Structure 1
């Protein structure tokens, strides 16, 4: 930048930039099932133009539940919540979540505040920053699998392997699209963190074999300390 406020830590990473907001957690909580769905309503609408990033931690007490969609409800300037759906009526979506945006929400009575030229608050020392822990878009095809009541499916494992920390989540936004397959439209995609193998896993359930290359959706993990 030619002028403005910039703070750099001991590792030469920019932590505050008056021209570039950081990703901050706005709301967090738990989600509970309503059948194979889970409906989450934010305490008040999120007012950004772009939809929030939704991070979830599917509960280790229900490790077999597979999530096949996440829809952010509302619209630009008024995102009201999100809906999770699982693949099977036997699945009861349960876990933790947080919603994050590239903006700050004033939560403190005192501290440091920074506004952009368009008067938007882009830094608040009281806002909770999202701590990214790992990211990868590399996947390995695992082949045909049998998943409980769903029967035969196809699976891919993210090549980044490691246990999920108690306050660590994965972003589910990239997994709202289908998996490419031969001679037809995309097949429905499912995702979960596989606690047995310590990796993120995606699935396709279809009578037609998919391509072994599922594309490169981003597996992005972040911590929210204290949750």
Structure 2
């Protein structure tokens, strides 16, 4: 922290509010469906936000599987809009070994970096050095439950798998926007990548990387780390306004 400003820590010593860093806050929640027209093609689902997110930084999208007729679900995610006007997101899915059409129901939560003025007549507002709002006491701060920090790599001929080892509970929301189809973490060694959220009926968090054969960066991930957050968003606290 700088010589002046505000820093708020929790009981474990982790900084949760700071005048040095932008703060992730709740934006909205809802449900959506992933469906397919044929059994041998990908499924898809999409959401348009109730209100566009006006931050330069992209929002974070968390999802929780509610129900589905399949025991497996792998997806990749894209965002609609662009910096200053994020309007929604798209999910493309794939399943295997089931003759039924895809039909999943998922709950989503969208989060953004705080940038709005307080809606209350009293409370706290925090600004950065440029005078931009980075926190108000009207905000509903995101509480991260756990992160995938260690990945177990299983290499295949065409697909590599990175298992998080995390136990995903029924009320856990996984950040699906943390990794997109063309994630750079694989440093040129990916054709496209996605996430597995359900395998053989078990909730999980696993990265699937369709590899590209041929030349690629020899240093691999070069000791960098990829962490995907998992959160709980109890409806009693995180409500649409």
TM-score category, normalised to shorter length: 0.7 to 0.9
Does the CA-based 8 Å contact 1:115-1:122 persist in structure 2?
yes
Pairing partner for 1:83 from 72, 79, 90: 90
- Structure 1, unaligned runs of 5 or more: 145-151, 209-213
Secondary structure, aligned partner of 1:19: coil
Deviation at 1:34, TM superposition (A): 5.3
> How many Å apart are 1:132 and its aligned residue?
0.9
Structure 2: stretches of 5+ with no match in the other structure: 37-42, 214-219
CA contact (8 A) 2:32 2:106 kept: yes
Deviation at 1:217, TM superposition (A): 4.3
- CA–CA distance in structure 1, aligned partners of residues 50 and 147 of structure 2: 29
Residues 1:60 and 1:77: Cα distance change in structure 2 (over 3 Å): same
1:10–1:164 distance in 2 versus 1, CA, 3 Å: closer
Note closer, same or farther for the CA distance 1:65–1:10 as it changes in structure 2 (3 Å cut).
closer
Determine if contact 1:161/1:198 at 8 Å carries over to the other structure.
no
Structure 1 residue 81, shift from structure 2 partner: 0.8
Question: What's the counterpart of residue 216 of structure 2?
Answer: none
Q: Which residue in the other structure is 2:128 paired with? A: 116
**Cα shift at 1:197:** 4.4
When residues 178 and 71 of structure 1 are mapped into structure 2, their CA distance, relative to the original with a 3 A threshold, is: closer
Match of 1:173, SS state, is helix
2:6 corresponds to 1:13: no
1:94 maps to 2:101: no
CA positional deviation for 1:83? 0.8
What secondary structure does 2:12 align onto? coil
Q: How does 1:155-194 map to 2 (within 5 A)?
A: 156=161, 158-166=163-171, 168-177=172-181, 186-194=190-198
How well do the aligned residues superpose, as a CA RMSD in angstroms? 3.5
What's 1:225 paired with?
234
* 1:64-119 Cα shifts (integer Å, max 9, x gaps): 2221x211111111111111111269333530111222224346424322222323
- Distance in 1 (alpha carbons) for counterparts of 2:203 and 2:126: 39
Counterpart position of 2:217: none
TM-score between the two structures when normalised by the length of structure 1: 0.75
